Amino acid sequence: MPDGVVSEVTTRNFNQTSDNVLSPKRVDGETDLQSWFRCDDEVDAWEEIVGLGGYGKTLTVITAELSEDGGDGDRSDVWAQSQFRYRR
């Protein structure tokens, strides 16, 4: 399991089976942005995972909608203090 993949996310479960990673299998599921990023609010999101075959990697796409008017609270600054991690 790669460092940095939180245990509650669908990607972690997908990566536990090497056949998923080594084939073009696709899986999706619900998640929240707090499982992936440092943010104050819990924001519902959708996680899509696909195995990249011979590369031995997976691609994960995370999609979330943030309301413009703030919705449950003011979310205008949700990403202001977010920190993204990039590793090679």
Place of tokens 């399991």: 1
Place of tokens 């195995």: 51
Starting at the earlier edge strand, list the strands of the sheet with 26-32: 26-32, 44-51, 58-63
For residue 7, give the DSSP letter. Answer: T
Counted domains in the chain = 1
- Does 73 map to a domain? no
Residue pLDDT, tens place only, 46-62: 999 999 999 999 999 99
Cα 71 from chain centroid (whole Å): 22
Residue 18 in 3-state DSSP? helix
- Does 79 map to a domain? no
CA distance 47 to 66: 15
- Does 3 map to a domain? no
- Does 81 map to a domain? no
Tens-binned pLDDT, residue by residue, of the chain (88 aa): 445 556 668 888 899 999 999 999 999 999 988 888 877 778 889 999 999 999 999 999 999 887 665 555 555 555 565 566 666 5
- Does 57 map to a domain? yes
